[in-house]
Structure 1
């Protein structure tokens, strides 16, 4: 655990094409611990699956902290517990065969002021937490289970008929329209109130108590901690997000497994929020919402916090079920910068690379370097930039109808989000609904993006609107829909260089009066019945074939 990881080492094998554009990166300091080991058995722990071990774990952690640090051992067995709070210089180590199960007795969880989705909120305290701690870790080969099924509401449309009937028969209550199951009346009540957990002067303690069951905690929340390590452990079944490091510095997540049911509402894998110096490597995610997600606060509160997530390496990870494999946003109001994402695999994620925001967020996302990404069986987009995020599942359910957003140009303010300076290379995708989707704002396009060396097999090719300064180089689109393969609307300074495609009715469709400076170069257009089609006000001089 004494190793330091130098961000610049990544340059040796990845992102070499952009090396001169990458800023120098600092070291990630990892925690160090005394070798002293204290077993929770020595403090009255019982692994019978019935006895609450909250006090035994608390005493062991306090004792280790008082001695100057060490390892608190959770031996093999079934350990039931209430909330656990880590202290400085303590490594909570779960032996192989250890299951740390958090209780479904909600009375064990206090209501506390914390942060949820980038805003100050009242929530139940997290099962596993730390605040202002230095040198902390959760390590080992055991399992941490958040008992999330006791907390989560479930949509009927995400279950089979037999699963739904079994869930309803288990207890709880069903929504008036019979489309949602809630664990309790409190949970149902809270769901019906907009921003129910938001902290505001008119809300009394009695109000929060009346919706306590609704205020689901994240499984692990480390706030304002330094030198943090999560290694080897399986984290699963979280009430809301699974892993949530918030405003931490020097965070290493290595060789963990993170599981949630695919239908788990807000069942994210890891949400790294306003953190600095981060390494996530060799880990596996199979969850109910975004897999690996970068955040930095929401709207005015996030801008006021002004802490970007920065200086991060995300490498050698695998993501299965998730709304997105690697994700930035949508709560990114403090910004995100200097991120290296290398050698990751996404299998069955709704979207592969997902970058989302919306008006009101503000914040700047820039200097994003992504290399060597493999994708398979992506139900939505392989690569997506969307500045009209609407807090919906990325793939519509069967029969669901969604209206496109209203397009209007608004003034640029501090609440206008910015996506710029992305470099994405060496991507292979075998199966997606759409290879590439870009949707910027009229007043703030997605800008300065280079995509190169890709083979994208998808039903549809590219749909781009309100983009500026995009370069696609050596990108092959293997698509079923070929009329058109590529669609560009109201975008400018777009270079399409060495584009591969199947025989097509239309290779490139350009629309919109604001489209200009679009160059198609180094591309054999003879396999297209019509190389370029213009519509909806696009002018012939907007496109050059070189």
Structure 2
């Protein structure tokens, strides 16, 4: 038994077991702090709360196969500010925004703003650098239901000398006016958000989910919007009932999301769980996400932002997480004009999502839209209808159904042509597949570079339980049921040690595949 100390906060710590187990252990283990048992769990990533700042601790993990002990020192804390002292009621009725914002603005460097148990009815709160926001167990920040009470973040403002632009608002990859989020941080650094409390957008009691694609005053807010921030860590909280995308880091670096529970109703529109956009250095460990759209969607904006404010999304680690329901477990796209590279997804459970690995782009994303070096490994999929999909004809945006986007004939390669490099999946089991195992549709003028799948076992549902579905959202593409592998316009397709059980077909269907490597592929 061994573990790593992942992140140390002023009043908590997160550790991760060094284990080959996916998401959780077969048997529970116990965690001790200075000899006192603090928790019992079977999760590979756990957080221990209730610690004190500026103090050295010994943490010990005891499991059936042994134990391990390490030492750490909690972060410094300059002061603890209780929001009740600033006049916050926490009764779920009084508007607590002024008191909460006053506490935040009064917080000195390395200070903590503390919310004890209670429900704090609030409009958006703006965090600043070098602070901790602590939502204690039973503390809820509950979103105001009236959009007229939410400030608007302007999409773009010209600088005074008219030589540059200042971007605040963002909507689906474009710099457009949107409402501020319940938790907003702009150009800030060194922020921690901790505790066992809850951010509740209260969207089910508002009109955020009605006419979801219609702009009313401004576009819908996220639950948390981090704009050009650095070194932000979010640990242990629950985030639910978001008006739109739930957590949206935007042009940020060095982010950690640890042991979060993100939940939105399955029919809530565009309520993605966690969407890092044009970010570098993103760590997602031990999170459980169950939402109404993609559980995670890795993005880098649309063409305007790539052309004028280019930033690749890169160095993303997603490990020991559980993704439930939703359209995709981990998606790359579709707003990826800036490109995405070096993504590592491992030791995760995908449970009941429509798609597992989901890549989506389209003509018009541009030549900087290169999706490359994306690896999924040690994944367990349960009831995922379509485990692997790659789509370069995704029909998003107002022109998504146009001939330019959807024409299957080769178009000229120009500055608007996207590309996909290498996508790899290995050591993955898929139980309860319905539509297809792999469906890939590349552009004829820009085929997918390399799809490599190794050590894959996929088992279909019985034919009577399968419902035909369209695995990729593009025009003039038939529904599938029981299909194993469909690949169109791929430079290299590698299937190595792949076992497919219960498929309606007995071999891959390929069109425009330049090189096909097939080793140890079995149909049963």
Instruction: Please confirm whether the aligned pair reaches a TM-score higher than 0.5, indicating the same fold.
Output: yes
Aligned to 1:123: 178
- 1:439-464 CA-to-partner distances (Å, cap 9, x unmatched) read 00000111122210000123220111
For 2:130 and 2:429, how far apart are their aligned partners in 1? 43
For 1:143 and 1:10, how far apart are their aligned partners in 2? 26
Counting only pairs closer than 5 Å after superposition, residues 459-498 of structure 1 correspond to structure 2 as 459-482=482-505, 484-498=506-520
* Residues 460 and 479, structure 1, Cα contact 8 Å, conserved in 2: no
For 1:97 and 1:475, how far apart are their aligned partners in 2? 47
1:101 lines up with 2:142 in the alignment: yes
Aligned to 1:54: 97
Aligned to 1:345: 349
Aligned to 2:452: 450
For 2:83 and 2:224, how far apart are their aligned partners in 1? 20
For 1:221 and 1:353, how far apart are their aligned partners in 2? 25
Offset at 1:496?
1.1
* Residues 171 and 219, structure 2, Cα contact 8 Å, conserved in 1: no
User: Mean Cα displacement is larger for which, 72-81 or 295-304?
Assistant: 295-304
Aligned to 1:145: 200
* Residues 471 and 494, structure 1, Cα contact 8 Å, conserved in 2: yes
Q: Which has the higher helix share?
A: 1
Offset at 1:413?
1.4
For 1:385 and 1:120, how far apart are their aligned partners in 2? 27
Q: Equivalent of 1:291, from 279, 295, 298?
A: 295
For 2:296 and 2:523, how far apart are their aligned partners in 1? 31
Q: What's the TM-score, normalizing by structure 2?
A: 0.76
1:382 lines up with 2:387 in the alignment: yes
For 1:2 and 1:215, how far apart are their aligned partners in 2? 36
Aligned to 1:373: 379
Q: Which runs of 5+ in 2 are unaligned?
A: 1-6, 10-15, 22-73, 155-168, 398-404, 461-481
Q: Which runs of 5+ in 1 are unaligned?
A: 4-8, 15-30, 155-181, 197-210, 393-403, 503-546
- 1:330-352 CA-to-partner distances (Å, cap 9, x unmatched) read 00110111111111111110101
User: Mean Cα displacement is larger for which, 296-305 or 138-147?
Assistant: 296-305
Aligned to 2:422: 421
Q: 1:349 to 1:12 in 2, by over 3 A?
A: closer
Q: 1:475 to 1:152 in 2, by over 3 A?
A: farther
Offset at 1:405?
4.4
1:327 lines up with 2:349 in the alignment: no
- 1:24-65 CA-to-partner distances (Å, cap 9, x unmatched) read xxxxxxx9652521110110010111111101111111111x
Runs of 4+ in structure 1 off by over 3 angstroms are 9-14, 150-154
For 2:388 and 2:136, how far apart are their aligned partners in 1? 39
Aligned to 2:312: 308
Offset at 1:251?
0.1
For 1:337 and 1:12, how far apart are their aligned partners in 2? 26
Offset at 1:75?
0.5
For 1:33 and 1:116, how far apart are their aligned partners in 2? 37
For 2:344 and 2:503, how far apart are their aligned partners in 1? 32
Offset at 1:367?
1.1
Classify the secondary structure of the residue corresponding to 1:361.
coil
Q: 1:246 to 1:78 in 2, by over 3 A?
A: same
What is the root-mean-square deviation in Å for CA atoms of aligned residues?
2.2
Q: 1:12 to 1:255 in 2, by over 3 A?
A: closer
User: Mean Cα displacement is larger for which, 370-379 or 282-291?
Assistant: 370-379
User: Mean Cα displacement is larger for which, 449-458 or 342-351?
Assistant: 449-458
- 1:262-294 CA-to-partner distances (Å, cap 9, x unmatched) read 111111000011111110010000000000111
* Residues 33 and 90, structure 1, Cα contact 8 Å, conserved in 2: no
For 1:270 and 1:478, how far apart are their aligned partners in 2? 33
For 1:35 and 1:102, how far apart are their aligned partners in 2? 29
Aligned to 1:527: none
Larger radius of gyration: 1
The alignment of Structure 1 onto Structure 2 pairs a total of residues equal to 415
For 2:290 and 2:336, how far apart are their aligned partners in 1? 23
For 2:419 and 2:19, how far apart are their aligned partners in 1? 30
- 1:178-222 CA-to-partner distances (Å, cap 9, x unmatched) read xxxx3xxxx58x72xxxx5xxxxxxxxxxxxxx32x621111100
Q: Equivalent of 1:282, from 286, 307, 323?
A: 286
Aligned to 1:200: none
Offset at 1:71?
1.1
Classify the secondary structure of the residue corresponding to 1:68.
coil
Offset at 1:2?
4.2
Offset at 1:391?
3.2
Q: What's the TM-score, normalizing by structure 1?
A: 0.73
For 2:267 and 2:351, how far apart are their aligned partners in 1? 17
For 1:435 and 1:334, how far apart are their aligned partners in 2? 29
